Amino acid sequence: KAGVTQTPRYLIKTRGQQVTLSCSPISGHRSVSWYQQTPGQGLQFLFEYFSETQRNKGNFPGRFSGRQFSNSRSEMNVSTLELGDSALYLCASSLGDVGNTIYFGEGSWLTVV
Amino acid sequence: GQQLNQSPQSMFIQEGEDVSMNCTSSSIFNTWLWYKQDPGEGPVLLIALYKAGELTSNGRLTAQFGITRKDSFLNISASIPSDVGIYFCAGGDSGGSNYKLTFGKGTLLTVNP
């Protein structure tokens, strides 16, 4: 059974640009959530999508957005990139019901220069 | 917001030794999860706990969901070099239909062969 797949694995962007990251969940999983990981702040929850609807949201500015497609695949977008956005962005999927286990992908490393 | 205090921050042990790490919170969680992350990879689920007082083992790993629902611990017995990595605890907040994880800052484990 294929795991959570994230693309691209590595990317470098310039301050002010925007970026789109993609996540394909485990087959059958309907919930996709996104996390930002930095050395200083650790793992922080961005948002969760279930059945194409944002179901929960963390405390990030509006520059961070996401969406989910009918096949459960998800994208997250960061606009007007700042140096502090450099991080490992992790996608996780689950069946979506309360208490279901959450599985992570390998992440997308974003460097903003 | 909810915060988890994970300790210790780092551990340096000899191969064969037992290891214990824990997480505490000021808030109640409905689930406790323990993940291990290797460099450049996403977190991999080790143990999931769904009920207060639950004690669960996975090979040499044992974890418990505290009775108060505000804490959890992870024990690793007879450590081996491949146990090296960062261990994260995560509390699951399943209020309503939402599901998001709050992570501890991690425990960096180094095992000396």
Q: Which residue of B has its CA nearest to A40?
A: B105
What type of residue is A103? Y
Tally of residues, chain A: 113
Residues of chain B contacting A103 with CB distance shorter than 8 Å: 45
B74 pLDDT higher than 70: yes
Q: What percent of chain B has pLDDT over 90?
A: 75
When pLDDT is cut at 50, 70 and 90, the band that residue B39 belongs to is confident
What type of residue is B76? I
B46 pLDDT higher than 80: yes
Instruction: Tell me whether residues B100 and A94 touch, CB distance under 8 A.
Output: no
A40 vs B54: which has the higher pLDDT: B54
* Residue of A49, A56, A89 for testing the chain B interface, max B β-carbons within 10 Å: A56
Instruction: Tell me whether residues A43 and B43 touch, CB distance under 8 A.
Output: yes
Nearest to A43 among B41, B88, B92 (CB): B88
Q: Give the span between the Cα atoms of A109 and A51, in whole angstroms.
A: 26
User: In this structure, what token pair is assigned to residue B100?
Assistant: 């998001």
Beta pairing partners, B11? B109
B50 vs A25: which has the higher pLDDT: A25
Q: Does B59 touch chain A (CB under 8 A)?
A: no
**For position A88, what pLDDT does the model report?**
96
**For position B93, what pLDDT does the model report?**
74
Least confident of A24-38, B6-20, B81-95: B81-95
Instruction: Tell me whether residues B30 and A98 touch, CB distance under 8 A.
Output: yes
**For position A97, what pLDDT does the model report?**
75
Phi, psi torsion values for A99, nearest 5 degrees: 90, -5
Which segments of chain A have a pLDDT < 70? 1, 98-99
Mean pLDDT within B7-12: 96
Instruction: Tell me whether residues B43 and A56 touch, CB distance under 8 A.
Output: no
Residues of chain A contacting B94 with CB distance shorter than 8 Å: 98-99
**For position A98, what pLDDT does the model report?**
67
Q: Look at residue A85 and give its three-state secondary structure.
A: helix
How many contacts does A have with B, using Cβ atoms within 8 A? 68
When pLDDT is cut at 50, 70 and 90, the band that residue B92 belongs to is confident
When pLDDT is cut at 50, 70 and 90, the band that residue B95 belongs to is low
**For position B3, what pLDDT does the model report?**
76
When pLDDT is cut at 50, 70 and 90, the band that residue B1 belongs to is low
Distance from CA of A60 to the nearest CA of B (A): 13
- How high does pLDDT run on average in chain B? 91
When pLDDT is cut at 50, 70 and 90, the band that residue B98 belongs to is low
Q: Look at residue B83 and give its three-state secondary structure.
A: helix
**Would you say B79 and B27 are in contact if contact means Cβ atoms under 8 Å apart?**
no
**For position A99, what pLDDT does the model report?**
66
Interface of B with A in 26-45 (CB under 8 A): 30-31, 33, 35, 40-45
Task: Please give the distance of CA B85 from its chain centroid, rounded to a whole number.
Answer: 12
**For position A40, what pLDDT does the model report?**
82
Q: Does A4 touch chain B (CB under 8 A)?
A: yes
